[in-house]
Chains A and B, each alone.
Chain A
């Protein structure tokens, strides 16, 4: 039995009631329905706003983070006044203001194999607005095992992807991507940047798809992957087929319960590799150098070669005097320009790309190399306050 709409709700949703595909029954369906949004960041923000505005009766928000001022360029759920607050609290306040009729559940905890089933149980659809591979595989497997649609979206710089993975009707995320990329190969938005409005476009598409799924109207992106490029303003679709050998939704599944997704995505392997770097050479050797220590060594006149592995356009934001630019993607091809006998310090924005540069250099036989811990942002905090952090 669908819930009735109050007089106020009939007025609020009047533009929906005028559409035959929604109408009074559809709006009552939305009121009776629920959506769990994983992440209240760039994708989760527009998805949550539009699902709340549309009158989806119950919205769950999972996030275990605090609003940072660098979020505000794209995470439109949160305002300047929310900086420093828990994201789910900031989001709930905004959604309640937007539509007080919507019930908002918040989960201020990491989304893991241990709690995902419990959190997702009451919800009809899952909207994947996460920002990392382990959570994406966890979300996929959860949806396959529980028979819930996974409304997928992902972004990188100017590129976006969207689909609806519903293993009952078509392929799942693992059918398309059986395994994640090696750790660090595909940089995160924190390292590579993202056009602020891009997750707005993709997150809004996810909200559209979630509403279509909840209403049972139109042709959701089941079996299709939308590829959006904001620079070209191009929307392309590729066809996706169910993989009969898929490890979770294939005919002989190997994955029958939620697993350790950090291990599956190589996160511990990366830590192990970093430990390997740490231990290689002299025992207990520390491959990191702090900004303060580096500044002291430069001041003492030590001959250190500073290798900046960021992209050329990042030099406009901040630079360390005397550093040489070797963008990470070009480093492997330019090893001959480096001298293994000379001590080097590699750095990037915050230390992730330079860690990969360090691993590449060490694997190529370089030993006199260190990684600037915290990157040029740490340098800006500890050594040169005239530089901005970004």
Chain B
């Protein structure tokens, strides 16, 4: 099953996990499955219309899904999606 890699700043919202295994054949389904597992994460990650908030990007094999087919981008069972949020520490 596909995996969503969770970066350190967002792990508190998924019980500290580094990777969340999800069901789904598209990026949208995978994201929805993760948010069903961790509903408290939803308002932080998504706008009311369900789209990803602008401070976070999802990358598939090093490519931003916004530059692919967005939430309709097809996933293979062994794909790894990476969430990349903005961080500001310096």
A-to-B contact residues, CB < 8 Å? 39, 41-44, 128-133, 136, 153-159, 161, 176-182, 185-189, 192, 194, 199, 225, 227, 236-241, 327-330, 332-333
**Is B25 interfacial (CB-CB < 8 Å)?**
no
Chain B residue numbers with a CB within 8 Å of A237 are: 62
**7 A-B pairs with the lowest CB-CB distances in the bound complex, closest first:** A329-B12, A179-B54, A181-B55, A189-B89, A131-B90, A178-B54, A156-B87
Within 8 A of A (CB), among B9-64: 9, 11-13, 15-16, 40, 44, 53-57, 59, 62-64
Contact: A239 with B87, CB < 8 Å?
Answer: no
Contact: A188 with B88, CB < 8 Å?
Answer: yes
Please, how many angstroms separate the alpha-carbon atoms of A240 and B40 in the complex? 29
Chain A residue numbers with a CB within 8 Å of B84 are: 161, 225, 227, 238
B-to-A contact residues, CB < 8 Å? 7-9, 11-13, 15-16, 40, 44, 53-57, 59, 62-64, 67, 82, 84-90
Contact: A238 with B82, CB < 8 Å?
Answer: yes
**CB-contact partner of A239 in B7, B56, B64, B89, under 8 A:** B64
**CB-contact partner of B8 in A44, A157, A238, under 8 A:** A157
Please, how many angstroms separate the alpha-carbon atoms of A199 and B89 in the complex? 9
Chain A residue numbers with a CB within 8 Å of B9 are: 156-157, 159, 186-187, 192
Contact: B86 with A180, CB < 8 Å?
Answer: yes
Q: What would 11 A/B residue contacts be, using CB atoms closer than 8 Å?
A: A131-B90, A154-B88, A157-B8, A176-B57, A181-B85, A181-B86, A185-B55, A186-B87, A238-B62, A238-B82, A238-B84
Please, how many angstroms separate the alpha-carbon atoms of A153 and B88 in the complex? 9
Contact: B64 with A332, CB < 8 Å?
Answer: no
Task: Summarize A's interface: helix, strand, loop or mixed.
Answer: mixed
Chain A residue numbers with a CB within 8 Å of B82 are: 227, 236, 238
Chain A residue numbers with a CB within 8 Å of B86 are: 133, 136, 154, 176-177, 180-181, 186
When A179-B55, A181-B55, A329-B13 are in contact, do A239 and B62 touch as well, CB less than 8 Å? Answer: yes
Known: A156-B9, A329-B11. 19 other contacts (CB 8 A): A39-B90, A42-B89, A43-B90, A153-B90, A154-B88, A155-B89, A159-B7, A159-B8, A159-B87, A176-B86, A185-B44, A186-B87, A194-B89, A238-B57, A239-B63, A239-B67, A327-B12, A329-B12, A332-B40
Contact: B90 with A155, CB < 8 Å?
Answer: yes
Closest Cβ–Cβ distance, residue B51 to chain A (whole Å):
12
Contact: B88 with A133, CB < 8 Å?
Answer: yes
Contact: A154 with B89, CB < 8 Å?
Answer: yes
Chain B residue numbers with a CB within 8 Å of A332 are: 40
Contact: A328 with B12, CB < 8 Å?
Answer: yes
Counting chain A CB atoms within 10 Å of each CB, the highest count among B13, B62, B63, B87 belongs to B87
Chain A residue numbers with a CB within 8 Å of B57 are: 176-177, 238
When A178-B54, A329-B13 are in contact, do A238 and B63 touch as well, CB less than 8 Å? Answer: yes
Please, how many angstroms separate the alpha-carbon atoms of A128 and B86 in the complex? 14
Closest Cβ–Cβ distance, residue A38 to chain B (whole Å):
8
A45 to B, closest residue via Cβ: B90
Chain B residue numbers with a CB within 8 Å of A136 are: 86, 88
Please, how many angstroms separate the alpha-carbon atoms of A95 and B7 in the complex? 35
Closest Cβ–Cβ distance, residue A255 to chain B (whole Å):
14
**CB-contact partner of A180 in B55, B67, B90, under 8 A:** B55
Contact: A199 with B12, CB < 8 Å?
Answer: no
A133 to B, closest residue via Cβ: B88
Chain B residue numbers with a CB within 8 Å of A227 are: 82, 84
When A238-B82, A239-B64 are in contact, do A161 and B87 touch as well, CB less than 8 Å? Answer: yes
Closest Cβ–Cβ distance, residue B52 to chain A (whole Å):
11
Closest Cβ–Cβ distance, residue B25 to chain A (whole Å):
23
Contact: B87 with A41, CB < 8 Å?
Answer: no
Contact: B87 with A333, CB < 8 Å?
Answer: no
A194 to B, closest residue via Cβ: B89
Contact: B8 with A130, CB < 8 Å?
Answer: no
Please, how many angstroms separate the alpha-carbon atoms of A136 and B90 in the complex? 10
Chain B residue numbers with a CB within 8 Å of A186 are: 9, 55, 85-88
Chain B residue numbers with a CB within 8 Å of A194 are: 89
Chain B residue numbers with a CB within 8 Å of A178 are: 54
Chain B residue numbers with a CB within 8 Å of A238 are: 57, 59, 62-64, 82, 84
B11 to A, closest residue via Cβ: A329
Contact: B44 with A241, CB < 8 Å?
Answer: no
Closest Cβ–Cβ distance, residue B12 to chain A (whole Å):
2
